[in-house]
RNA sequence: GGCCCGUUCGUCUAGGGGUUAGGACAUCAGAUUUUCAUUCUGGUAACAGGGGUUCGAUUCCCCUACGGGCUACCA
């Protein structure tokens, strides 16, 4: 293995829909690995399947990566490098793939096949009734319509006549294929288990397998970091590198464990988000569904109020763990700490609760001023105009209580408006004549108070309670309800100080006049 | 079905031939805040099962079970 080679990795999504969080994590690991080793990170679009192409999907992928801060330094949407173009349909039009298919045919590692889709489906059905699975392989290809069974003349005639054909790999009959995976160690597969995969489709497009190998080779990719769903086809890829004579520069493989559904079984899919109530995608959007062809809306982490740093941090820890117990990482720290060897082998069930916790951690790291800058526009949207200083004070009081910045907005109503209602549970439990009288005398006492601070109002509150012969603790929460309407909230007398004497006294009177009437 | 990959608290994971099997989320309890929450402290909770190898296995090997992936002219 050539370890002196420059590290070049790629993220190669297929634009068949919105990029989901599993894809984002694959991109992230590629990015971290590239940065860690001072290498290059490339975005290549694998759009060889023209039928499943979804308009706008490519743009979505680019925007999602940008929001996450996972920026390739080469490739579609991020500026061309020496290996342009980076979209496989463009590369096909530039004629990069056909020559290699020809080379494989010349060297006897591939052949033309004329069997139609219908014919092959029939074969599959026939095998199924016999309780077997059909595979186009060393055993069956002798009985099918291909350049191995047809005469050279007939092959030429058919092609000249414009008959549709595909090019298939000629997998050796009896060979052990072994390759080293950085995460899994040695993986061994016998060639008899492989089928003669199509390399070139009848529409003239290469399949993933050919395009992928050719592009990784010509883009000088040093490490292939991709999802575990590719593990079964890795032996085919190894064979192709060998057939093409590129074994010396074959990239090292690292197959990532899958992200699984939090409940039940299976890998995380599109639908799970709506069903379980968490986003599966980074950004909210609407794209055509590949299967139905109908437009489909989906929600994203961004719109649900998550910070990209939190999202990325969560994703990084889902399947990877550093050598210490550290869980909160800046992007720079992630780059520093990341290594493929520490990626786990088994699939990880996604935990939406922990993701929220990550967001909370990042929210708390923000200054009151930064949070206020987020809160201000949200308030404006609701027709509330206020000063940055007041918004900052709100954030200071509320930030310990929330996980998302929108909760700041949702919970700050009483900073601007008198309560329209009062927490019924607390009222039912605490409101009586004696306490009502207390609130009245408290209003009077507050009214006569000189200096208005958290400390003076608290002292005044306690003194008034004592005079009335009431345990302060008994009326504390009730007082909170009287001035805010809610049973819970920030540190009480800090809130009192911020709201000011006039407001507090007025709300106290309102409460006495409203509650229980 | 076949092939491949995997299996440590409910979840994400650390660890690794001899450990009180560690951390985080969640959960529970106590303290503090004379309120709710925050915060702090503490607790419950795991090596899938069976065989080996070994003085000793959760760690290494094998089998079984379970989970996952792939099995298209999709990626």
Note whether residue A248 is domain-resident. no
List bases in chain B with any atom under 7 Å of a protein Cβ: 1-8, 10-15, 22-26, 33-39, 67-75
> pLDDT tens digit string along A165-184?
999 999 999 899 999 999 99
Query: Is residue A488 over pLDDT 90?
Result: no
Owning domain of residue A176: 98-201
Interatomic separation, CA of residue A188 and C1' of nucleotide B55, rounded (Å):
36
Note whether residue A206 is domain-resident. no
pLDDT, position A148: 96
Closest nucleotide (CA of A490 to C1')? B37
Interatomic separation, CA of residue A407 and C1' of nucleotide B36, rounded (Å):
17
Closest nucleotide (CA of A399 to C1')? B38
Q: Which residue is nearest to nucleotide B73 (CA to C1')?
A: A201
Claim to verify: residue A216 and residue A303 sit in the same structural domain: yes
Q: Which residues of A are part of the catalytic machinery?
A: 270
Claim to verify: residue A370 and residue A330 sit in the same structural domain: no
Claim to verify: residue A46 and residue A161 sit in the same structural domain: no
Claim to verify: residue A320 and residue A261 sit in the same structural domain: yes
Q: What is the rounded distance in angstroms from the CA atom of residue A418 to the CA atom of residue A458?
A: 21
Output the six-digit token pair for A33.
């690995």
> pLDDT tens digit string along A88-125?
999 999 999 999 999 999 999 999 999 999 999 999 99
Q: Which residue is nearest to nucleotide B36 (CA to C1')?
A: A488
Return phi, psi of residue A343, to 5°: -80, 135
Claim to verify: residue A340 and residue A353 sit in the same structural domain: yes
Note whether residue A228 is domain-resident. no
Interatomic separation, CA of residue A287 and C1' of nucleotide B61, rounded (Å):
51
pTM for the model stands at 0.95
Claim to verify: residue A337 and residue A385 sit in the same structural domain: no
Among A137-141, A269-273, A451-455, A458-462, name the one with the lowest average pLDDT: A269-273
Interatomic separation, CA of residue A311 and C1' of nucleotide B19, rounded (Å):
35
Task: State chain A's mean pLDDT as an integer.
Answer: 94
Interatomic separation, CA of residue A36 and C1' of nucleotide B74, rounded (Å):
33
- CATH number at A275 reads 3.40.50.620
Q: Which residue is nearest to nucleotide B11 (CA to C1')?
A: A351
Claim to verify: residue A400 and residue A461 sit in the same structural domain: no
Claim to verify: residue A374 and residue A356 sit in the same structural domain: no
Please calculate the CA angle A25-A26-A27 and round it to the nearest 5 degrees. Answer: 90
Claim to verify: residue A106 and residue A72 sit in the same structural domain: no
pLDDT, position A264: 65
Instruction: State the total domains in chain A.
Output: 4
Note whether residue A264 is domain-resident. yes
Other CB atoms within a 10 A radius of the CB of residue A140 amount to 14
**Radius of gyration (Cα) for chain A, nearest Å?**
32
> pLDDT tens digit string along A6-46?
999 999 999 999 999 999 999 999 999 999 999 999 999 99
Place of tokens 């003349």: A153
Ordered DSSP codes for A267-307: B--HHHHHHHTS-SBSS-EEEE-TTT-SEEEE-BTTTTT--
SS3 A470: coil
Q: Which residue is nearest to nucleotide B4 (CA to C1')?
A: A232
ipTM for the predicted complex comes to 0.95
Claim to verify: residue A392 and residue A426 sit in the same structural domain: no
Claim to verify: residue A191 and residue A269 sit in the same structural domain: no
Note whether residue A227 is domain-resident. no
Query: Is residue A277 over pLDDT 50?
Result: yes
Claim to verify: residue A385 and residue A349 sit in the same structural domain: no
Note whether residue A464 is domain-resident. yes
Note whether residue A242 is domain-resident. no
């Amino acid at each position: 293995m050539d370890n002196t080679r420059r590290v070049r990795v790629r993220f190669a999504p297929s634009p068949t829909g919105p990029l989901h969080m599993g894809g984002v994590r694959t991109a992230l690991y590629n990015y971290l690995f590239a940065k860690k080793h001072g290498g290059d990170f490339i975005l290549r679009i694998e759009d060889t399947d023209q039928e499943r192409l979804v308009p706008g999907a490519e743009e979505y992928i680019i925007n999602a990566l940008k929001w996450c801060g996972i920026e390739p330094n080469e490739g579609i949407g991020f500026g061309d490098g020496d290996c342009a173009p980076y979209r496989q349909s463009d590369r096909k039009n530039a004629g990069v793939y056909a020559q290699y298919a020809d080379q494989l045919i010349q060297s006897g590692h591939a052949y033309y096949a004329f069997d139609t889709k219908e014919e092959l489906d029939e074969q599959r059905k026939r095998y199924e009734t016999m309780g077997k699975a059909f595979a186009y392989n060393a055993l069956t290809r002798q009985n099918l319509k291909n350049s191995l069974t047809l005469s050279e003349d007939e092959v030429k005639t058919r092609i000249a006549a414009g008959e549709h054909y595909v090019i298939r790999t000629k997998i050796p009959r009896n060979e052990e294929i072994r390759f080293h995976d950085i995460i899994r160690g040695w993986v061994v597969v016998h060639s008899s288990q492989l089928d003669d995969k199509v390399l070139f489709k009848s529409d003239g497009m290469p399949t993933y397998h050919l395009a992928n190998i050719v592009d990784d080779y010509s883009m000088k990719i040093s490490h292939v970091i991709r999802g575990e769903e590719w593990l079964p086809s890795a032996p085919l890829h190894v064979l192709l590198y060998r057939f093409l004579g590129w074994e010396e520069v074959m990239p090292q493989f690292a197959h990532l464990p899958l992200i699984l559904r939090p409940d039940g079984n299976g890998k995380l899919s599109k639908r799970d988000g709506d069903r379980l109530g968490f986003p599966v995608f980074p950004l909210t959007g609407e794209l055509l569904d590949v299967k139905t062809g109908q437009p489909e809306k989906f929600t994203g982490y961004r719109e649900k109020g998550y910070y990209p740093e939190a999202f990325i941090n969560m994703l990084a820890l889902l399947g990877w763990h550093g050598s210490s117990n550290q869980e909160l990482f800046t992007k720079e720290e992630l780059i520093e700490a990341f290594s493929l060897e520490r990626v786990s082998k088994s699939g990880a069930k996604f935990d939406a609760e922990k993701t929220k916790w990550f967001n909370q951690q990042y929210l708390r790291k923000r200054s009151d001023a930064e949070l206020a800058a987020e809160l201000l526009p949200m308030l404006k949207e609701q027709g509330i105009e206020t000063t940055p200083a007041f918004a900052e004070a709100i954030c200071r009081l509320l930030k310990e209580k929330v996980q998302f910045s929108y909760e700041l907005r949702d919970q700050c109503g009483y900073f601007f408006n008198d309560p329209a209602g009062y927490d019924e549970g607390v009222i039912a439990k605490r409101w009586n004549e004696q306490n009502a009288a207390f609130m009245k005398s408290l209003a009077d006492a507050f009214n006569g108070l000189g200096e208005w601070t958290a400390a003076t109002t608290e002292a005044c509150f306690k003194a008034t309670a004592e005079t009335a012969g009431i345990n302060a603790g008994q009326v504390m929460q009730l007082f909170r309800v009287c001035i805010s309407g809610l049973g819970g909230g920030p540190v009480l007398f800090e809130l009192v100080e911020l709201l000011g004497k006039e407001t507090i006294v007025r709300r106290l009177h309102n409460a006495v006049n409203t509650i229980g009437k």
